[in-house]
Amino acid sequence: TMATFTKEQALEIVKDVKHPSIDNTLLNLGILKDLTVSNDNFVTLTLALPFPEIPILDMLINSLAQPLMEAGAEIGVETVVMTDEEKQRFFELEKAGWKGL
């Protein structure tokens, strides 16, 4: 049978995924801005980025997509650029949690 997800279940799977160089979760950093579930198992991740082009984007996407795919989800990804407010919060959290590469 095909796996089916609610938004809450999908969120539960990715809420603890951490940023590779910041000691914080992608959810808390605001990078994982939203996720939606359609057709029972198609999870669309909305990633908010501090800049349009970030070198580790694929790594971030994979770190979220991997556990969802293992649970049986199909993945779609949308990216948006953070608002100034979201950016400010991100940079504060980045500074506080930076652990380098």
Q: How large is the average pLDDT for residues 46-53?
A: 93
Phi and psi at 54, nearest 5°, equal -120, 135
Q: Which two tokens stand for residue 99?
A: 């652990």
What pLDDT is attached to residue 3? Answer: 83
pLDDT digits over 31-48, tens only?
A: 999 999 999 999 999 999
Contacts of 94 (CB under 8 A, 6+ apart): 22, 29
The residues pairing with 22 across neighbouring beta strands, listed in sequence order, are 98
| pTM to 2 decimal places | 0.93
Distance CA 90, CA 71 (A): 29
